[in-house]
Amino acid sequence: MSKEIIVFKSEFKQQPSTVKFTYELKNIKHTGFVVLNDGSYNAYKNQCMHLPVELDWQDNDFLDEEGKFIICATHGAIYNLEEGYCVSGPCQGMKLKAMAVEEVIDRLIIKIEAE
Ligand code: FES
């Protein structure tokens, strides 16, 4: 069974930037985030591919200083924005769990698939 989460485009303050969201599966709370970059939206589960920890230590702080990569706060793995592909770090070659994003006028519909 899948769920849908709504994120409004107006929640993004600049490009690139991220918006974090929460969802529940089987009564367990999870988080995810959407990256806006170059006019494209990509959504990922908020979990590093190295260890089962969230990527952000500070809430919704997912990007490196230059805004070029998603960075894991625990050991510094970096993932590209477009595919969530780990280009450097202990999980190099792995990809963040992506979620489908549908754009509908002023909002994004994020599809959450059961795990
Ligand atoms: S937990 Fe993310 S790089 Fe180690």
Checking if the pLDDT of 77 tops 70, the result is yes
Angstrom distance (rounded) from CA 59 to CA 83: 22
For position 92, what pLDDT does the model report? Answer: 97
In one letter, which amino acid is 110? I
For position 73, what pLDDT does the model report? Answer: 98
Average pLDDT value over all residues in the chain: 96
Confidence of residue 1 (pLDDT cuts 50, 70, 90): low
- Give the mutation target among 44, 48, 87 for probing the ligand 1 site: most ligand atoms within 8 A of CB: 48
Q: Whose CA is nearest to atom 4 of ligand 1?
A: 75
Question: Cβ(3)–Cβ(90) under 8 Å?
Answer: no
Across 26-43, average pLDDT: 96
Domains of the chain: 2-113 (2.102.10.10)
Q: Which atom of ligand 1 is nearest to the CA of 72?
A: 2
Angstrom distance (rounded) from CA 46 to CA 92: 17
CA 96 to ligand 1 centroid distance, Å: 12
Across 57-75, average pLDDT: 97
Closest CA to 76 of 97, 87, 84: 87
- Overall pTM > 0.85: yes
Angstrom distance (rounded) from CA 98 to CA 95: 8
